[in-house]
Structure 1
Amino acid sequence: MLTAELRDRYDVVVIGGGAAGLNGALVLARARRTVLVVDAGRPRNAPADGVHGLLGHDGVPPAELLTRGRDEVRRYGGQVVDGEVARASGDGDGFVVTLADGRTVSAGRLLVTAGLVDELPAVPGLAERWGHEVLHCPYCHGWEVRDRAIVVLGSGPMSVHQARLFRQWSADVTYVSHTVPPDAEEAEQLVARGIRLVDGLVAAVEVRDDRLTGLRLLDGTLVGADAVVVATRMVARAGFLDDLGLRTVEHPAGVGEHLPTDPTGSTNVPGVWAAGNVTDLSAQVGAAAAAGAAAAAQINADLVEAETREAVAVHRALHAVEVGGADA
């Protein structure tokens, strides 16, 4: 919002206001740091009906969870604004963050939690049902489609793995090869688990009375389904870091692009940490929130170290003056 009053400088600017960013901001605000969260308002799980597998909050709508998180950050003096970061650059004593509306703020440290974009297979109808009958994560959605007809679309390097996982929730699982046919060993594994194999390219998602009914193959065959599982290509949102020399790289598993960090969340640019889906493409809400909290603790410790070095330098300078005066 253009009317939001911003400080000239913050101890930490958090780029992204999802679970990782808000939990990180909460930890930092409670550590009495000045912290700003800039949130573009595009959470990955926005289409989902509820967040699952999160202790104490199972089933809560994603928007409600984020509203609660914002309120908690603000309770401790943290600031959350709606906006998009256009670029982040170094200023010699930290960083300058420029928003898309032209506003700029300075920060001692950055926590990048901007999440990712799921690139869906180019099959007509998938995007419209995404987050509802078109799914990707069994731990997020498996219970909701238990014992129903599930079709896994061969669309990425994790597709066969997805089929094996979803078999835990239903005995009615079909694997449609599409662009990722299983090899001989994988096919044997699927058949042994009672998973039906269908070879063919998918033309479109079939919908009747606003309800998904299956996948229509190019040869006209309809593979009936109550839910369709896809492997998306996951691409981290990090283009605004180009001026810092930070860029996404291909994930080792071949599932997309992520921003690499060390185990503490630190990137290869001093003063910049990352947490959540921007670096861990498969992190669920709970794991992303935990990573945000852990990175925030590391950032606070780093700030304490810097402040301690500065205090020691001042202390030594004063002591030198006192000693010099006594000798005069």
Structure 2
Amino acid sequence: MPTLERKPILLDFEKPLADLEARIFQIRELAEENDVDVSDEIRQLEARAVQLRQEIFSGLSPTQRLQVARHPRRPSTLDYIQAISDEWMELHGDRGGFDDPALVGGVARLAGRPVVMLGQQKGRDTKDNITRNFGMASPGGYRKAIRLMEHADRFGMPIVTFIDTPAAWPGLDAEAFGQGEAIAYNLREMFRFDVPIICTVIGEGGSGGALGIGVGDRLLMFEHSVYSVAPPEACAAILWRDASKANQAADALKITAPDLKQLGIIDEILPEPIGAAHADPVKTTEILKEALLRHLDVLDRMTSEQRRELRYQKFRALGIFSEHPV
């Protein structure tokens, strides 16, 4: 039975590129039907398509990067874990009666080495997103995360986390079950772990929901990911009582990888293939795996005391500023 090809999901700024690619396809089909050689014209148009794709994705605004970070086809936590792991076993439950599907994790082998991997998991479609709560973890999710990280620390396994959430779940039930306490507990405990911790923003890193698994020796970030204190829509609603000013908020929040690298918040920007991660997930996975192994090699050469001090100083330095007379 033939498989149906998935229709591409286009962002607004990708439409000129899609139109050009559709034109190339039509010309190629007509040439084949009429037995006409148009190879030179096709090569020129394809070269123009490559150039246009580079132009589009090299000049994205913060709002456009946010759209890319939220793209439904962007690789997810489970996509990366399954692609980079030699072996993978998902573990469930927070041992308190809950198993949050918005936060997944387990034990794996990375290049033959035992590690614990975990992260927020968004859905692929509306039904899956409802099941995964759009990647917004409950207190049970963060308690499951810390259970897995404590397991890693006890048995000397590095911790690898993948951040991809608009925020922690803000519902009344989450507050009733101690959302703030669960995240705060994770922050405190991650600072004391002896094992290496590498955190990577793979899509959208928002609010305390991202930080709840984001305390590490290294914080990596994909080129078209975003990382901020709050989603731009929420920020606009708070500051201006108008969510339509999200574009203005995105500019002010400095949510992009280059901005955060300049501010010293992240350690490395991971480049994405032309057209972003969803355009070439295989290449993106290779880039991620190489970076994780490279940083693990460096962290392995440190003592646990050196890693804890590095972690502490890294976060103490965030938000430091100086005033200059006008």
TM-score band by shorter chain is under 0.3
Q: Which has the higher contact order (CA 8 A, sep 6+)?
A: 1
| Bigger proportion of residues as helix | 2
TM-score between the two structures when normalised by the length of structure 2: 0.25
| Bigger proportion of residues as strand | 1
Flag the structure with larger Rg: 1
